[in-house]
Amino acid sequence: MNQESPEQPVRNSKSVIRLPIIVAITLAAGVLIGSTFFSGGKSLTDVAKSSAKFREVLMYVENNYVDSVNTEELVDYSISKMLEKLDPHTSYFNSEEATAARSQLESGFDGIGVEFNIYNDTVYVVTPLSGGPSETAGIQSGDRIMMVNKEKLSGPGVTNAQVYKLLRGKRGTKVDLSIERVGLKDKMNFAVVRDRIPTYSVDASYMVDNEIGYIKVSRFSETTFDEFKSALKTLKADGLKKLILDLRGNPGGYMERATSMADELISGDKLLVYTEGKDSRFDRKTRSHVDGTFEKGPVIVLVDEGSASASEILAGALQDHDRALIVGRRSYGKGLVQMPIKLSDNSELRLTISRYYTPSGRSIQKPYEMGKGDDYSQDLSHRYESGELFNADSIKFDKSKVYKTDGGRTVYGGGGITPDFFVPRDTLNNSKYLFELYAKNIIREYALRYANENLKKLEKQPFNDYLKSFQVSDAMLGELVKDATKAGIKANEKELKLSKPVIVAQTKAIIGRYVWGRKQKSGLNNEVFQVINPTDNVYQRALQLFGQASQLEAGDFSSLNTVKGKK
Mean pLDDT of the chain: 84
| pLDDT the model gives residue 103 | 66
Q: How confident is the model at residue 44 (pLDDT cuts 50, 70, 90)?
A: low
Query: Do residues 5 and 248 lie in contact, with contact meaning Cβ atoms separated by under 8 Å?
Result: no
28: pLDDT strictly greater than 50: no
Three-state SS for 476-529 is: HHHHHHHHHHHCCCCCCHHHHHHHHHHHHHHHHHHHHHHHHHCCCCCCCCHHHH
87, 91, 260, 334: the catalytic one is 334
Q: Of the ranges 149-158, 281-290, 328-337, which one carries the lowest mean pLDDT score?
A: 149-158
Question: Across residues 536-553, what is the average pLDDT?
Answer: 96
| pLDDT the model gives residue 278 | 87
Query: Do residues 484 and 437 lie in contact, with contact meaning Cβ atoms separated by under 8 Å?
Result: yes
87, 246, 304, 320: the catalytic one is 320
Query: Do residues 243 and 300 lie in contact, with contact meaning Cβ atoms separated by under 8 Å?
Result: yes
395: pLDDT strictly greater than 80: no
Q: Of the ranges 20-29, 161-170, 173-182, which one carries the lowest mean pLDDT score?
A: 20-29
Q: How confident is the model at residue 59 (pLDDT cuts 50, 70, 90)?
A: very high
Question: Across residues 253-267, what is the average pLDDT?
Answer: 95
Q: How confident is the model at residue 565 (pLDDT cuts 50, 70, 90)?
A: low
201, 309, 347, 499: the catalytic one is 309
Portion of the chain with pLDDT greater than 90, in percent: 51
Q: Of the ranges 422-431, 441-450, 485-494, which one carries the lowest mean pLDDT score?
A: 441-450
62: pLDDT strictly greater than 50: yes
Note if 309 is an active site residue.
yes
225: pLDDT strictly greater than 60: yes
- Domains defined along the chain, listed by start: 96-197 (2.30.42.10), 202-336+389-424+540-565 (3.90.226.10), 431-535 (no CATH)
- The CA dihedral of 248, 229, 105, 313, to the nearest 10 degrees, is -50
38: pLDDT strictly greater than 60: no
Query: Do residues 53 and 78 lie in contact, with contact meaning Cβ atoms separated by under 8 Å?
Result: no
Note if 320 is an active site residue.
yes
pTM of the full predicted structure?
0.77
Query: Do residues 361 and 404 lie in contact, with contact meaning Cβ atoms separated by under 8 Å?
Result: no
| pLDDT the model gives residue 557 | 86
| pLDDT the model gives residue 13 | 41
The b-or-e profile of 404-435 (16+ CB within 10 A means b, else e) is ebeeebebbbbbbbbbbbbbbbbbbbbbbbbb
| pLDDT the model gives residue 160 | 79
Q: How confident is the model at residue 519 (pLDDT cuts 50, 70, 90)?
A: low
